Amino acid sequence: MSAVDVEALTVKAGSKTLVSNVTLAVEAGTWCTVVGPNGAGKTTLVETIAGLRKASHGSVSISGHPLAEMHERERAQRVALVPQHPVIPSGMSVDDYVALGRVAYHGLFRPPGANDRSIVESVLERLSLVDFRERDVMTLSGGERQRMVLARALVQSTAVIVLDEPITGLDMRHQMDMLELLKSEVAQCGLTVVATLHDLTLAGQFADRLVLLDRGEVVLDGAAGDVIRSDELAQCYAMKLRVVDVDGADVVVPVRQ
């Protein structure tokens, strides 16, 4: 059984079609990244997989369970989202913010139990956030804040995590740190990742599989290296691209016309 099944999914906003007839099956314990030019429908697709948007037609299932039939708490126990622009309230400690990821289990009006605290502690340690736990969330650097947002998603203990441009605004080192953290969660914990990334080189290096989206439709779906080296990639971006092998990694270089 796939961790994520998207069947003939169409999403509309008024009369405008944002995603059109998309069908995907993402295997458990793998990393699938959606790439494509601006306006391709990437954010709409992943937000629909995470349950933030409703399908106009078609369906999304998480581990065989239809998303449309889940109540909010059940959905939060099956799929977690790291949005591109997370809302981070001021005045909270890092520890309290991360612990919000357990609300789906103990509810709004009951305090976290011992198991909830144990899970939060484990994630804080894995993401090297223990020393920041008492810090106000607004005092963190960009990289620290992104790790905190990822930590909140991980403490939801879901089999699937959806990330929309998780490295936006980070410098190169922190981009790599964030992606390496996710890769280790996939390898060590069997996490299934569905993400969007603008950086084609990093998308190709970290994902097992790439889905190339353009104008809301799937143009190509396959192994990361195959999509990166495809003619369709350059065609969708309407520009000349060169793929260079650097120590065994594909680096995508835009070429001036």
pLDDT tens for residues 124-146? 999 999 999 999 999 999 889 99
Q: What is the distance of C-alpha 151 from the center of its chain?
A: 13
Distances (CA, A) of 8 to 55, 58, 106, 173, 216: 10, 5, 35, 38, 12
Name the amino acid, one letter, at 15: S
Could you give the angle at the alpha carbon of 69 between the alpha carbons of 64 and 72, nearest 5°?
105
State the DSSP H helix or E strand holding residue 78, giving kind and residue range, or none if neither.
none
Q: What is the pLDDT along the chain (257 residues), one digit of tens a residue?
A: 799 999 999 999 999 999 999 999 999 999 999 999 999 999 999 999 999 999 999 999 999 999 999 999 999 999 999 998 888 888 999 999 999 999 998 887 788 889 999 999 999 999 999 999 999 999 999 889 999 999 999 999 999 999 999 998 889 999 999 999 999 999 999 999 999 999 999 999 999 999 999 999 999 999 999 999 999 999 999 999 999 999 999 999 999 88
The answer to whether the CB of 127 falls within 8 A of the CB of 181 is yes
Domain boundaries, the chain: 1-78+159-177+185-257, 80-157
Pick the CATH number of 1-78+159-177+185-257 from 3.40.228.10, 3.40.109.10, 3.40.50.300, 3.40.50.12780: 3.40.50.300
pTM confidence score: 0.93
Closest-CA residue to 58 (of 118, 111, 121, 12): 12
CA distance linking residue 179 with residue 174, whole number of Å: 9
Spatial contact of 67 and 75, defined as CB atoms under 8 Å apart:
yes
